């Protein structure tokens, strides 16, 4: 049994010596760009340069190059996964765990390079990119231990004359469809959970981050996962759709937008003739996350936590804060302080330490954020703006908006960008009503120093992750199992004790132990 789980320590970037290593790592990674990402099916690797990822902060910089995945590749990948499944499921839980732990070690040895590549490919600032790499390592280590535990099955009631067993078995082939915003941790979490439980995986990463996905698959294979059990299909939405529809796929693990999540749930519900199973869908979708600020909140703590939760990584996290619901008695004060703090934000390049708001992922995202900013301007009052630099890159100004009318798209839709709306409420009850009206229920925040208010909001909130007196992003594996309710997701919480259960089927065996009047 491996040693008890502990989170991978994040870099202590407050120390100059630690920071000094970052630029070197970036230089090493830059010297090797672009990353060659193959359509990687079993031992067969086909390279190409039809699908390209570029640096969001410098769109001329090519980060990764991949071929396009075609329908034949999807067929081949599923068939290979079915072969891989036969081998991998036969491997004992302890050995599967060992492979995942070895993959974690592979990542640990290359931490700074992985982080630097993420800075380049996804414009994630150093501290956040580092946290993503650490989270990927955490998922591997955590699910490895979970696999061993699952291998023991569950205790059942035993009576004389029979032996009862409940055991867990892999579902089969799992399609993992992952986003770019946590380009290592999220695909790693979904894939390693499926693998831990003995499934074979076909990974279709976001088209914006194929380079990071290549590193993940390399890590898993280096750790000892058989190539047939982990294939990589770089590509766009059509590849994901083909995988979801494929009758040879047993489960789909998806993290992404609500719109795509809806399509996946609908498509996976189809059971064509010849398909002998229902497909399980594990979906982590969007959020419209509110932070409630009660009248007795400590604003010295609330303001930095709110600003960080809203604007770090340009708000491109499903957990990011997008609305503040503040008690009217302190609304003016909070608004002034949040606005003042937001004005100090530096919108800049991800690789520059001290950048608060990096560019968003791509041109489409920049345009989407601009549309919401225009709505915010016309329907509400912009109370603060941190300007975008005038350089190439998909930069968006950071915006704080107040006085939006009820029903404004800025208040209800997931923007996935650096836009924060502030709204005064009569009291905490009204704030809870507002939260309760939303279709999303992912994360939520509460600032108060009154234990009674904490109890009340805990009771009332539908959100999957409530954070009290702290920022609302940065869930840690094993500490803040992560996932939403309502339209924010279907699944059990990632990084929590039940997550693996979604990737297994159960079998109960009851054996008669009486033979001719003799119990054996």
Partner 1 sequence: MTASASDAPGPPAAPVAPDAQVEAEVRRIGEQLAAAFPAASRQPLRALDARAMEMASSDRELRAALFRFVDVVPACRSLDDLARHLVGYLEEVPDASPPISAAMRISGTRAGRAALGAAAAGGVRHLAHRFIIGETPAAALGTLRKLWDGGVASSVDLLGEATVTEAEADRYAQRCLDAVEQLAAATRSWPERPMLEADGAGPLPRANVCVKVSALTPLLRPDAPARGQQDAARRLRPLLRAAQAAGSHLHIDMESLDSREAVLELVLDLLDEDEFREGPSAGLVLQAYLRDSPGQLDQIVAWARATARRPPLTVRLVKGAYWDHELVQARQHGWDVPVFQDKHECDRNFEALTRRLLAARPSLRVAIASHNLRSVAHAIACNRVAGGEDRDLELQVLRGLGDELQHALATLGYRVRTYCPVGDLVAGMAYLVRRLLENTSNDSFLSAQASGVPIEELLAAP
The residues assigned a catalytic role are: 284, 318
Question: Per the omega criterion (within 30 degrees of 0), is the bond before 34 cis?
Answer: yes
Point out which span in 15-23, 47-55, 266-274, 400-408 binds partner 1 (CB under 8 A).
15-23
| Binding of residue 105 to partner 1 (CB under 8 A) | no
8 A C-beta contact, residue 111 and residue 57:
no
CB of 450 to partner 1, least distance (A): 6
The number of C-alpha atoms within 13 Å of 398 and in the hemisphere containing its C-beta is: 28
274: exposed, middle or buried (Cβ count in 10 Å: 0-12, 13-18, 19+): exposed
Nearer to partner 1, 334 or 411 (CB): 334
Residue placing its CB nearer to partner 1 in the complex, 281 or 302: 302
DSSP letter for 402, please.
E
Site for partner 1 (CB under 8 A): which residue of 4, 14, 72, 520?
Answer: 14
Of the candidates 83, 343, 368, 486, which one interacts with partner 1 according to CB under 8 A?
Answer: 343
CB 103 within 8 A of CB 218: no
Phi and psi at residue 474, in whole multiples of 5°?
A: 85, 35
Q: How far is the CB of 11 from partner 1 (least distance, A)?
A: 9
Judged by CB under 8 A, the residue of 70, 247, 304, 462 near partner 1 is 304
Minimum CB distance to partner 1 smaller for 10 or for 241? 10
Q: How far is the CB of 439 from partner 1 (least distance, A)?
A: 32
Contacts with 109 (C-beta within 8 Å, 6 or more apart), sequence order: none
DSSP string, 186-249: HHHHHHHHHHHTT-EEEEE--TT-HHHHHHHHHHHHHHT--GGGEEE----HHHHHHHHH-TT-
Does the protein bind partner 1 through residue 450 (CB under 8 A)? yes
Beta strands in 398-480 (DSSP E): 398-402, 419-425, 440-441, 443-447, 465-468
- CA–CA separation, 404 and 393 (whole Å): 29
Contact by Cβ (8 Å): 325, 293: yes
Return the number of the residue (62 or 346) whose C-beta is nearest partner 1: 346
Closer CB to partner 1, 303 or 504, in the complex: 303
Binding test (CB under 8 A) with partner 1, winner from 354, 390, 405, 517:
354
Query: Per rule CB under 8 A, is residue 480 in the interface with partner 1?
Result: no
Q: Which of 102, 222, 346, 501 binds partner 1 (CB under 8 A)?
A: 346
Determine the Cα–Cα distance for residues 217 and 238; give it in Å rounded to an integer: 21
**124 or 337: whose CB is closer to partner 1?**
337
* Stretch 238-297 residues interacting with partner 1 (CB under 8 A): 295-297
Q: Does 460 bind partner 1 (CB under 8 A)?
A: no
Count the helix, strand and coil residues of the chain and give each as a percent rounded to the nearest 5: 40, 20, 35
109 interacts with partner 1 by CB under 8 A: no
Question: Does residue 462 interact with partner 1 by CB under 8 A?
Answer: no
Rounded least distance, CB 17 to partner 1, Å: 11
Q: Which is nearer to partner 1, 123 or 252 (CB)?
A: 123
The Cα 94–Cα 91 span in angstroms is 8
Single residue of 353, 370, 374, 514 touching partner 1 by CB under 8 A: 353
- Residue 185 sits at the vertex; the CA angle it makes with 179 and 186, to the nearest 5 degrees, is 40
Binding site for partner 1 (CB under 8 A): 6-10, 12-16, 19, 126-127, 295-301, 303-304, 307, 329, 336-337, 339-341, 343-344, 346, 353-354, 449-452
């Amino acid at each position: 049994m491996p040693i008890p789980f502990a989170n991978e320590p994040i870099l202590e970037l407050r120390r100059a010596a630690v920071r000094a290593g970052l630029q070197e790592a970036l230089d090493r990674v830059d010297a090797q760009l672009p990353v060659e990402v193959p359509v990687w099916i079993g031992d067969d690797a086909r390279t190409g340069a039809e699908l390209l990822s570029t640096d969001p902060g410098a769109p001329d910089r090519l980060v990764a190059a991949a071929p396009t995945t075609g329908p034949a590749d999807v067929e081949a990948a599923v068939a290979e996964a079915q072969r891989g499944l036969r081998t991998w499921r036969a491997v004992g839980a302890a050995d599967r765990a060992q492979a995942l732990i070895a993959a974690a070690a592979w990542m640990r040895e290359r931490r700074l390079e992985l982080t630097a590549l993420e800075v380049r490919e996804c414009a994630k600032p150093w501290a956040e990119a580092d946290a993503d790499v650490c989270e990927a390592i955490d998922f591997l280590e955590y699910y490895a231990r979970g696999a061993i535990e699952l291998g023991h099955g569950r205790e059942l009631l035993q009576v004389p004359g029979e032996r009862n067993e409940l055991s867990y078995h892999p579902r089969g082939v799992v399609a993992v469809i992952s986003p770019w915003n946590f380009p290592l941790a999220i695909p790693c979490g979904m894939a390693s959970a499926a693998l831990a439980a003995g499934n074979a995986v076909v990974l279709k990463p976001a088209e914006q981050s194929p380079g990071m996905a290549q590193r993940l698959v390399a890590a898993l294979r280096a750790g000892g996962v058989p190539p047939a059990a982990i294939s990589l299909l770089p590509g766009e939405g059509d590849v994901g759709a083909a995988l979801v529809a494929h009758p040879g796929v047993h489960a789909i693990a998806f993290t992404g937008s609500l719109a795509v999540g809806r399509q996946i749930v609908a498509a996976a519900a189809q059971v064509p003739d010849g398909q002998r199973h229902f497909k399980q869908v594990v979906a982590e979708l969007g959020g419209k996350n509110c932070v409630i600020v009660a009248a007795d909140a400590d604003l010295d703590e609330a303001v930095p936590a709110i600003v960080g939760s809203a604007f770090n990584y340009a708000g491109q996290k499903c957990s990011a804060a997008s609305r503040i619901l503040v008690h009217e008695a302190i609304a003016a004060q909070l608004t002034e302080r949040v606005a003042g703090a937001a004005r100090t934000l530096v919108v800049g390049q991800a690789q520059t330490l001290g950048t608060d708001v990096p560019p968003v992922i791509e041109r489409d995202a920049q345009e989407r954020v601009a549309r919401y900013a225009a709505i915010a301007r016309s329907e509400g009052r912009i109370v603060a703006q941190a300007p975008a630099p005038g350089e190439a890159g998909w930069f968006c100004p950071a915006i704080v908006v107040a006085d939006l009318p009820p029903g404004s798209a800025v208040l209800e839709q997931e923007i996935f960008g650096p836009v924060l709306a502030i709204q005064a409420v009569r009291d905490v009850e009204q704030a809870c009503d507002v939260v309760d009206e939303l279709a999303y229920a992912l994360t939520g925040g509460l600032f108060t120093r009154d234990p009674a208010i904490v109890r009340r909001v805990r009771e009332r909130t539908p959100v999957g992750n409530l954070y009290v007196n702290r920022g609302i992003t940065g869930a840690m594996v094993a500490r803040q199992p992560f996932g939403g309710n309502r339209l924010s997701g279907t699944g059990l919480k990632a990084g929590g004790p039940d997550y693996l259960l979604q990737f297994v089927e159960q079998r109960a065996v009851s054996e008669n132990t009486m033979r001719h009047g003799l119990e054996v």
